[in-house]
Structure 1
Amino acid sequence: MIQQTIEQKLHQTFNPTHLDVRNESNMHNVPPGSESHFKVIIVSDSFNGERLVARHRKVNSVLADELAGPVHALAIHTYTPEEWKKQSQLAPDSPNCAGGGK
C-alpha cells in the first residue's frame, strides 16, 4: 500500500522513464510484512542540470508525508536518462542491515 503511494507520487511528479520502488523492509529487523524501508531508483528528464542534493531534496519533498510517518528509511538513486544509460541501467545494491536484520 505504501509502496503504491510512493510509486504514484513519483510518477505524477517526475514522469520517469524508469521507476523502481523496492520494499527492502525484509532486509531489516522489522516484523514480517512491514513497509518501512524502501529503495527508489528513478530516471527522469526533470533531473537534467540538477545536482544530486537537489534531486534528493525534490524526492524527499514529494514523499514528505510518508517520511514523516511509516517510512523509516529511504535510499534514493536519481539519474537522468543519459546517466542511467552510462550506469548500464544498474543502481548500487543496498548494504546489509547493521542493526541485527537478516
Structure 2
Amino acid sequence: FFETSLQLTPCPPPTQSSNPSTKKLDDHLQPSHLTITPNDPNSSCGLMLKLFVVSDKFNGKRLLERQRYVNEILAKELADGTLHAVEYEKTWTPDQYEKNANNK
C-alpha cells in the first residue's frame, strides 16, 4: 500500500494590475477599454478570466476571429496552465462600444 498526502493551497486572487495577461493584452491590442475579471469559482490555480475588450485591432474581424486573436496573444499562458480558460464578455470595435453606450 502506498500512502500519499496531498495538500492544496489556494492561489491568491490576482488583481487586474498584477495580472501579466493585462500587459500582454495592452501591448498587442492597445485597447481603448479593457476589463479583466478573475472568474475561477473553484479557486484552482489554473486561472479563468472574463474579458471585455474594445480595440481598433478588431476592425474588420468577425467575432470568432477576434476571440482567436486574443487566444493567440495568450497562447503561452493557456499552454503552460497559468491560464485555464478565457470567457469573452465582449470583444468590440470602438464603433460597437460607442453605439452600445449611446443606447443605454
- TM-score under structure 1 length normalisation: 0.73
Percent identical: 38
Q: How many residues align?
A: 85
CA RMSD of superposed structures (Å) = 2.1
Q: 2:59 aligns with which of 48, 54, 57?
A: 48
Letter in 1 for 2:31: P
Pair 1:78 & 2:94 matched: no
**Secondary structure class of the residue paired with 1:87:** helix
Counterpart Cα distance in 2 of 1:70 and 1:14: 20
Pair 1:20 & 2:31 matched: no
Runs of 4+ in 1 over 3 A off after TM superposition: none
Unpaired segments of 5 or more residues in structure 1? 90-102
Counterpart Cα distance in 1 of 2:15 and 2:83: 8
Q: Which has the higher relative contact order, 1 or 2, with Cα contacts under 8 A spaced 6 or more apart?
A: 1
Q: CA deviation at 1:15?
A: 0.6
**Secondary structure class of the residue paired with 1:73:** strand
Q: 1:36 aligns with which of 30, 37, 47?
A: 47
Counterpart Cα distance in 2 of 1:15 and 1:43: 9
- TM-score under structure 2 length normalisation: 0.72
